[in-house]
Amino acid sequence: MYYFEEIDSTNNFAKHNSLADGSIVLTNHQTNGKGRHEHAWISKKGADLTFTLVKKIADQNTEQVKLVFAVTYAVYETIKEILIKENFEISGNISVKWPNDILIRQKKIAGILIEAKPQKNLYLIGIGINVNGTSFHDALKKKSTSLCLETGKSIDLNFLLITLVKNLNKYLKFVEDHKYKEIYNLWRNSLTCINQNVEFLDAKGNLLTGTVTDILENGQIQIRQNGIISEYNTGEIRLQL
Ligand code: BTN
């Protein structure tokens, strides 16, 4: 375990240093956190969970999307466990937004950034969870929430980290054991967007409106527009109409 009172980004530290399989890089304050699609990930000093797990996947043929399913599902299950412990009504309130955002009541509570060091079969699994912060920058206010805001209680960061690492080990084992269908099914059942109308920003920056018909085992999203179904590898679901 590498612990820093303050660091720019736990993923960057893991990227620029040679760390063993299973290492965790944890910080109390991430000053330049990275999100997906070149976004920033902003966390509050001492209030949020920000860390990176270094994971070796021996099998060269394992696609990164399998890790996305396992890690996202592990974060989803962990947040459910914490909410149940705090007597929060989880039914219908917690979900996964393709590909790897965790939402509570449609607001983002956690984000995941997985980067690869392909030459060494290492993956840098960066996870950020909004935990005890109670205010957000204007741009994030409508779209984000925290465990404390949802439960009204201050959440123990150590307990959250221990629970999450337990679940990461449990669900990453599905990938190591090639139980791809099982982990895909668990992940798929936690999605809310299937059969919903959404705005979708594709990789080229085009904003389109359509219905999500499915998300495939290879991670592609299928969107139906005017009766025609198209598949996209990457992009962003903007909002649910
Ligand atoms: C996203 O939703 O865009 C992904 C956010 C990922 C944030 C985490 S916090 C720990 C790790 N270090 C980073 O710089 N980013 C990830």
pLDDT tens digit sequence for 181-191: 999 999 999 99
Q: What is the 3-state secondary structure (H, E, C) of 180-230?
A: HHHHHHHHHHCECCCCCEEEEEECCCCEEEEEEEEECCCCCEEEEECCEEE
- Residue 77 is given by DSSP the state H
For residue 133, the Cα-to-chain-centroid distance in whole angstroms is 18
Whole-number Å distance, alpha carbon 35 to ligand 1 midpoint, is 5
**Whose CA is closest to atom 15 on ligand 1?**
34
pLDDT given at position 179: 96
Query: Which CATH homologous superfamily contains domain 2-189?
Result: Bira Bifunctional Protein; Domain 2 (3.30.930.10)
Residue 22: CB atoms within 10 A of its CB come to 12
Asked whether residue 171 carries a pLDDT value surpassing 50, the answer given is: yes
pTM assigned to the model: 0.94
pLDDT tens digits, one per residue of 90-118: 888 899 999 889 999 999 999 999 999 97
Region of residue 45 (left: phi > 0; alpha: psi -120 to 50; beta: else): beta
pLDDT given at position 240: 55
**Whose CA is closest to atom 9 on ligand 1?**
128
pLDDT tens digits, one per residue of 28-81: 999 999 999 888 999 999 999 999 999 999 887 788 999 999 999 999 999 999
Sheet containing strand 101-104, edge to edge, reads: 2-4, 24-27, 49-56, 122-129, 107-117, 101-104, 94-97
Dihedral pair phi/psi, residue 171, rounded to 5°: -85, -25
Beta partners for residue 4, in sequence order:
27
- Give dist(CA 183, CA 174) in Å, integer: 6
Query: What value does the mean pLDDT of the chain take?
Result: 93
State which amino acid sits at residue 26.
L
pLDDT tens digits, one per residue of 194-219: 999 999 999 888 999 999 999 999 99
Ligand 1 proximity of 102 Cβ (cutoff 6 Å): no
The two three-digit tokens of residue 14, written as one number: 């893991």
Whole-number Å distance, alpha carbon 228 to ligand 1 midpoint, is 34
Asked whether residue 241 carries a pLDDT value surpassing 50, the answer given is: no
CATH match of 197-239 with 2.40.50: no
End-to-end C-alpha distance for the chain, whole angstroms: 43
Q: What angle do CA 236, 105, 230 make, to 5 degrees?
A: 30
Q: What is the mean pLDDT of residues 130-147?
A: 88
What are the domain boundaries of the chain?
Answer: 2-189, 197-239
- Give dist(CA 45, CA 6) in Å, integer: 9
Whole-number Å distance, alpha carbon 55 to ligand 1 midpoint, is 16
Q: What is the mean pLDDT of residues 3-15?
A: 98
